């Protein structure tokens, strides 16, 4: 089989490729191209379904990608939206081809988080374009722009490394609008000669944007964070919280079951059950109810929104739980103090999933909220100790 040579956008990170590919690196257009059975360093492996071949350029070949999703792509989306799988769901940076692009074809810039890349390529059906993938450490455009990895330096370096000026005869780069916070268009043009055009918010609007002569309508500029959009993101908040729940449950059962003479499981269950239930309610109030009802909960602060949702959830749960019937004011105070704060903290994590919170706002909330959370936990623990000492007849 004839060996394909691709254009490299950067250094090979795979140590196993160093010996067999050292002579080929200058002929590679994208790091992603040096994969599977198209390269000597990946023999006995298989091309992913989304790579369909190679596109010729004056400086080598680029991976040609499918604009349709396979079952593996759909499954990857589910896993990346529901688990930590998203932290390793990435594609290698470099230049890709959708359709049959030539020197006059547009260049679209993307992050190397694979779900972002997949959503982009799916929107390009019937189009002939180049896709320049930046190394954002597997993070989506919005978050990477805030962190600086989807930024001016990376864009400049990637344009230069793939020798884009030799591949296209225009000087236009279409960058996602959500990446604007990280890209200095003037600096990019000054260094590379390429003019940055900030495209629409959503990839699905790219065909209309290009066909209209690179003009954005108001709708294309508008970020719509609908209830459905928010609901899709909630598993990423629920799962991490639930993973910590077994440890929380163990601590609660130990606290309520511990007696001077040993641990009584009956007391642990009867005394701890209301707090276990409140813990679950707090998780879903912060990770599900607050995001879904985001526009309807007062205040701009996510911490305050979460606290309000937590207070309401705790109030109705306490009414139906056994805490009031236990007749202990200390436990009631602990429940009213700790669980709304827990909900607030969980809701605050959702700031990373939204497009209308800036880094400065998030940092401000964290600086104000963390001391309050720590203080609330400390007071709750002290009150529980007082409760146990009273229960044992020491106080």
Torsion-angle region of 164 (φ positive above 0: left; ψ -120 to 50: alpha; else: beta)? alpha
| C-alpha span between 352 and 346 (Å, rounded) | 12
Average confidence (pLDDT) over 363-389: 91
Helix 185-192 / helix 152-161 crossing angle, nearest 10 deg: 30
Q: What is the mean pLDDT of the chain?
A: 84
pLDDT in tens, 1-14: 333 334 443 433 33
DSSP conformation letters of 41-77: GGTT----TTEEEEEEETTEEEEEE-SS--HHHHHHH
Average confidence (pLDDT) over 75-96: 90
Helix (H) or strand (E) holding 241: helix 235-257
Helix (H) or strand (E) holding 195: strand 195-198
- Class at the top of the CATH hierarchy for domain 15-224: alpha beta
pLDDT given for residue 357 in this prediction: 64
Q: What's the chain's length in residues? A: 395
pLDDT level of residue 355 (50, 70, 90 thresholds): low
Work out the percent of the chain whose per-residue pLDDT is above 70: 84
pLDDT in tens, 32-52: 444 333 332 233 347 788 999
The pTM of the full predicted model, rounded to 2 decimals, is 0.76
pLDDT in tens, 212-237: 999 999 999 988 888 888 999 899 88
- Radius of gyration (C-alpha) of the chain in whole angstroms: 27
pLDDT given for residue 356 in this prediction: 61
| C-alpha span between 264 and 8 (Å, rounded) | 65
pLDDT given for residue 323 in this prediction: 64
Average confidence (pLDDT) over 160-181: 94
> Which of the residue ranges 5-9, 135-139, 146-150 would you say has the lowest mean pLDDT?
5-9
Q: Where in the chain is the domain with CATH 3.40.50.11600?
A: 15-224
pLDDT given for residue 147 in this prediction: 82
């Amino acid at each position: 089989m004839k060996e394909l040579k691709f254009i490299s956008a950067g250094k090979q990170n795979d140590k196993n490729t160093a010996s067999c590919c050292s002579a080929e690196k200058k002929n590679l257009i994208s790091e992603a191209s040096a994969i599977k059975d198209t390269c000597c360093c990946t023999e006995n492996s298989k091309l992913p379904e989304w790579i369909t071949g190679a596109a010729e350029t004056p400086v080598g070949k680029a991976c040609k990608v499918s604009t349709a999703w396979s079952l593996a792509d759909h499954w990857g989306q589910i896993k990346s939206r529901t688990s930590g799988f998203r932290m390793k769901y990435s594609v290698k940076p470099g230049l890709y081809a959708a359709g049959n692009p030539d020197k006059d074809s547009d260049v679209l810039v993307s992050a190397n988080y694979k779900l972002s890349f997949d959503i982009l390529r799916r929107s390009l059906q019937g189009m002939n374009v180049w896709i320049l993938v930046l190394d954002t450490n597997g993070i989506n455009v919005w978050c990477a722009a805030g962190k600086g990895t989807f930024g001016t330096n990376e864009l400049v370096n990637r344009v230069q490394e793939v020798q884009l000026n030799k591949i296209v005869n225009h000087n236009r780069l279409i960058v996602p609008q959500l990446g604007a916070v990280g890209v200095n268009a003037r600096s990019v043009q000054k260094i590379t000669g390429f003019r940055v055009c900030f495209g629409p918010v959503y990839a699905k609007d790219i065909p209309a944007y290009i066909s209209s002569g690179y003009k954005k309508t108001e709708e294309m500029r508008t970020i719509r964070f609908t209830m459905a959009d928010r609901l899709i993101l909630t598993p990423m908040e629920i799962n991490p919280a639930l993973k910590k729940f077994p440890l929380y449950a163990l601590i609660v059962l130990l606290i309520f079951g511990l007696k001077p003479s040993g641990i009584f499981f009956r007391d642990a269950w009867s005394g701890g059950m209301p707090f276990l239930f409140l813990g679950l309610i707090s998780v879903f109030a912060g990770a599900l109810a607050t995001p879904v009802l985001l526009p309807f909960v007062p205040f701009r602060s996510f911490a305050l929104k979460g606290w309000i949702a937590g207070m309401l959830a705790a109030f109705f749960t306490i009414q139906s739980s056994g805490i009031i019937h236990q007749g202990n004011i200390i436990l009631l105070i602990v429940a009213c103090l700790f669980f709304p704060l827990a909900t607030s903290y969980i809701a605050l994590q959702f700031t990373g999933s939204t497009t209308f919170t800036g880094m400065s706002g998030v940092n401000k909330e964290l600086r104000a909220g963390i001391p309050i959370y720590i203080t609330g936990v400390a007071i709750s623990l002290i009150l529980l100790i007082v409760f146990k000492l009273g229960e044992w007849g020491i106080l």
